Chain A
């Protein structure tokens, strides 16, 4: 299925290197079938996530953003995910004020051995985003169109 057919949406996944990226790999090695809407960006830790990564992704047209890291108390750097949890919970309140459906954003914890859990998360989240459909676009068109407008 290609993006051009319009059946696929753009979901960005921010995954920590040590647990969730491994978990996604485990799901792949186990040959679990999963939806293909998710594009993964690997980060050293969920503590690396600036909430603005998520805002920038949405404003650049992502239809959903998923953050996944090590389970609490399992962080490779001891406490990164605890800080991330606070930041992401705070971010959760900003999205609806900006007009972005809060259900387009989720965060969760998946360990490297939990391939099955990873599949469940991806399936459920993708279904959730498909339920919401594509993210609303700016009425004034895209940034590219604005640039072309000034150039011509």
Chain B
């Protein structure tokens, strides 16, 4: 993987004079996750990192940098967010340079911290072979990379970035992973309706309403005009009650229906670790079943909720 990193640095170095900024990853404060790096001068290029700790989706920064010439380093799943942004004309293709990578899975820092029982701030962590070696105040331990991957990696359908201007390294198939963890959606399906409602009440009771899910979502582009903050109409009120928090999650899910690429940024950003991507996954499943459409695969397609057919093939209306 070392040579791939060198190739990436060379490519960035070559492209940098024509670009205003290149977004990549650099070593983070805690060794378990890398952090975004905004490269504007050549000396920054040496800080670039590329390994399974590059879990953050950088595409979320693109709409805010519109008008500038931006380069971005993208994994397969990140590129789906870029496609979606291009499809919605929220960014301009000609202003964008994508450095595409082949990804074999990205690590979930929270999961690793829990597995190693070491907390987030470790003394050192390095990847060696198929293992992440961690040294923390609780001693040293090694965790197999495969066990520490993000849940989305088990559902990966495209590990190569597409669209892409410069592909670094070699193309390849998605990682073959066994023992996918059960999703919250699967767990909910085993519950009764009342249990599900209680599940959400408990989960939303922990929500601190920081709106990190909204800030991290690459498709939440309304920024200061979010309907959740509007007073007229007053969609969500200020009461500290699970009802309003659940309402916001329903709003987030419905506003990203047919757009969400399940990049998992909302869950990654959530400081209390709530399974908030579940509703979006449920909507995606339905959209796939009804309209045979998946977001982020083709920037030329019309999104399913922007069009209709007079005779919908998969919709069965009730006869009264």
Contacts and interface: CB of A to CB of B under 8 A. Distances in A.
Interface stretch (A12-20, A27-35, A134-142): A134-142
B163 to A, nearest CB: 27
A83 B305 contact: yes
B121 interface: no
The 5 closest A-B pairs by CB, nearest first: A99-B197, A99-B196, A93-B286, A82-B308, A97-B282
B116 interface: no
Nearest to A121: B320
A55 B254 CA distance: 10
Interface in B253-300: 253-254, 257-258, 278-279, 282-283, 285-287, 290-291
Interface of B: 185, 188, 193-201, 205, 235, 237, 239-244, 246-247, 250-251, 253-254, 257-258, 278-279, 282-283, 285-287, 290-291, 304-305, 308-310, 312, 315, 317-318, 320
Contact of B282 (A59, A93, A139, A140): A93
Interface in A78-132: 79, 82-83, 85-87, 89-94, 96-101, 106, 108-109, 117, 120-121, 124
Given A56-B235, A98-B246, A108-B317, 6 more contacts: A90-B258, A90-B305, A94-B283, A97-B185, A138-B243, A139-B198
A83 B306 CA distance: 8
Nearest to A102: B193
B239 A136 contact: no
Given A52-B250, A99-B195, A121-B320, A83 B308 contact: yes
Contacts of B318: 106, 108
A99 B194 contact: yes
Interface in A10-62: 51-52, 55-56, 59
A122 to B, nearest CB: 10
Interface of A: 51-52, 55-56, 59, 72-73, 79, 82-83, 85-87, 89-94, 96-101, 106, 108-109, 117, 120-121, 124, 136, 138-140, 142-143, 146-147, 150
Contact of A98 (B195, B200, B257, B305): B200
Given A73-B310, A86-B305, A124 B283 contact: no
A99 B198 contact: yes
Contacts of A82: 308-310
A112 B205 CA distance: 45
Nearest to B319: A108
A131 to B, nearest CB: 14
A73 B312 CA distance: 13
B241 A94 contact: no
A133 to B, nearest CB: 11
Nearest to B196: A99
A89 B286 contact: yes
Nearest to B237: A143
